[in-house]
Amino acid sequence: MRQVGFLVDVSRCLGCRACEVACKNYFGLGETQRFRRVEEVEWKREKERGFFYLSLACNHCESPECFRVCPNHTFRKRRDGIVVHDPDLCDGCCTCIKACPYGAPQFDVETGKVDKCDFCVSRLDQGLRPVCIDACTNGALKMAFLDEMDETKFLKSLPSLPDIKLTRPSIRFFPPAFHRKGLCKSKL
């Protein structure tokens, strides 16, 4: 089975939050929940400064901490690598929230349980794309089969993100424009 993941082109993200709103509406999330979030990330180099937007959700990690620490075994990993959560088994202990370095699991104050992005598996199983990808009018978000990608053309992480060694997230990035132009000397 092919490993599914998100491909993010941060140079194309305008920070419009259409992906965030589409996800929130599709899942009927409460006011404090966001399965997808857009963040502004600042970069600095000598006297130059700038920023880019970064759209993130659950990274459907190869080795998900949420899966490992949940005492109720509410998480499972599909054959395509997507990590799904069964809120019916959740008691709201929030252990997964504390363990996830990406802040993907979200507590719902109305239900007293945790839930998270499931890559819109009900849509995928019907041959449709996730709603966040459909809502991205600038093409910054894409679905990718990571095991079929040329890894030399994409980044596995960005300086603003947690260390990937523990969880091995299923997300890849087109380098930000400042990196492609040589403005960023840090090894991404």
Q: The tokens of 64 are what?
A: 């998900």
The pLDDT of residue 181 is 47
Q: Which residues in the chain show pLDDT less than 50?
A: 180-188
The pLDDT of residue 45 is 66
What structural domains does the chain harbor? Answer: 4-180 (3.30.70.20)
The pLDDT of residue 188 is 34
Of 158, 56, 165, 38, the residue nearest 116 (C-alpha):
56
The pLDDT of residue 105 is 97
Give tens-digit pLDDT for 82-91: 999 999 999 9
Q: The tokens of 37 are what?
A: 């979030």
The pLDDT of residue 184 is 39
Query: Alpha-carbon dihedral of residues 91, 94, 100, 104, nearest 10 degrees?
Result: 80
Q: What is the pTM of this model?
A: 0.87
The pLDDT of residue 151 is 81
DSSP for 93-108, written as a single string: --HHHHH-TT---EEE
The pLDDT of residue 183 is 35
The pLDDT of residue 66 is 97
